[in-house]
Amino acid sequence: MAWDDAAWRRIAERGVHAALSGWTDERSIATTERFGAHNYHPLPVNIVRARGALAWDASGREFVDCVGAYSAMAHGHLAEALVREAKAQLERATLVSRAFYTPEMALFLEALAEYSGLDMVCPMNTGAEAVETCLKLARKWAYTVKGVPEDQAEIVVCENNFHGRTTTIVGFSTEQRYRRFFGPYGPGFRTIPFGDAEALEAAIGPCTAAFLAEPIQAEAGVIVPPPGYLARVREICTRHRVLLIWDEVQTGFCRTGRRFGWSHEDARPDLMAVGKALGGGLLPVSAAVGVRGAMEVFEPGDHGSTFGGNPLACAVAVAAMAVMEAEDYAGRAERSGAFLREAFERAGGCAVREIRGRGLLLGVEFAPELSPDRLQEAFLAEGLLTKETRSRTFRFAPPIATEQPVLERIAERFEAAVRRAAGSV
């Protein structure tokens, strides 16, 4: 495309989609590979349109979206109620910065605090920002409330964690692909095995500020901790006066069959990072949410975000939570997840080694005899969008709003793909 003055003017006058008219899947992929940084390795699928749990490429081929933007697409693509709310807000105000108050942000703060059962909210944009906000809160709380000597606070984290990709966060990752060549990294983190409450107890010292973990390690292969772990962690943190931080960016908002992953046990956090589904599949919306004693350590100037808490995002997020409650997303996730788990177990046979997860967050680990590359090709050939996480595990997290006929289509295509990959068709 020739980016001369006339081209810019045509887009300004006629719109972006006029410029995209006639673009093929191949052109989109080639242009992305040429001009985009190669920090992702996408599947060879070019999505031009999506609705609900379905997506189509430029040739009109249909796919069922089982990636779901890594739990962000709980409501499905272009959920009618959320699109309507966004259009209405676009007629009012979209961005005014935190230099001023807005009624939309006030409603969002109250709604999210009520929804989460916590006291205060710090609005941000991305999941990683929400986690970083929790880390800053925990450290300042340690110095100003707990009495930890300044710059000596420690935060306990888990092996195989995934909390985002900022330099602070990858600094305490145990995955070399995420951290190599991005150092040097700062101190202040201690790593223990996930799901091991005794290891947490042993790791806590006089300078421990917080324990940060995911209720289910989604990126690590949908790893579910043993029963009682979440509640045991809560008890340990309370007894040692350590803040408990749950990263609910992927597991939150009904994905696991409860409002939050920690809700399966008595494990209410002191701080919680949320995001993804909070934006209704339309906008990046995240927040750090917590108890007043931890949140109120922030003072003006301590933290901020130009776009955090913008009126458009807040209006959509409140509507997203309202739809989740009104349409029983927690119950739907539990029922749909049970249906798919049973269907996968029945269809996979000896090809499936294990199915892990809760609700509509499922990880299917395949036997080593099946090549992950062949499985990926087979899923795409059958029109299923899923992707390997780690160790031959493919994630299935379609929209919670997915209707039963589409769930049945997922089950049918799963069976066909496994047969194809195993060479039996």
Catalytic residue among 211, 247, 270, 307: 247
Interatomic CA distance for residues 351 and 194, integer angstroms: 27
Nearest-CA neighbor of 249 among 155, 131, 170? 131
Annotated catalytic residue 247: yes
Catalytic residue among 63, 65, 108, 162: 162
Residues facing 65 on adjacent strands:
385
Interatomic CA distance for residues 215 and 230, integer angstroms: 7
Catalytic residue among 108, 276, 344, 379: 276
136 burial type by CB count under 10 A (0-12 exposed, 13-18 middle, 19+ buried): middle
3-class SS at 387?
Answer: strand
CA dihedral 14→16→17→20, nearest 10 degrees, is 110
Tell how strand 189-192 and strand 208-213 pair up: unpaired
> Phi first, then psi: what are they for 58, rounded to 5°?
-65, -25
Residue 92 CA to its chain's centroid (Å): 29
Torsion sign, CA atoms 121, 124, 128, 134: negative
3-class SS at 278?
Answer: helix
Interatomic CA distance for residues 84 and 196, integer angstroms: 45
One-letter amino acid of 31: T
What is the number of helices (H) and of strands (E) in the chain? 16, 15
So which residues are the catalytic ones?
A: 162, 247, 276
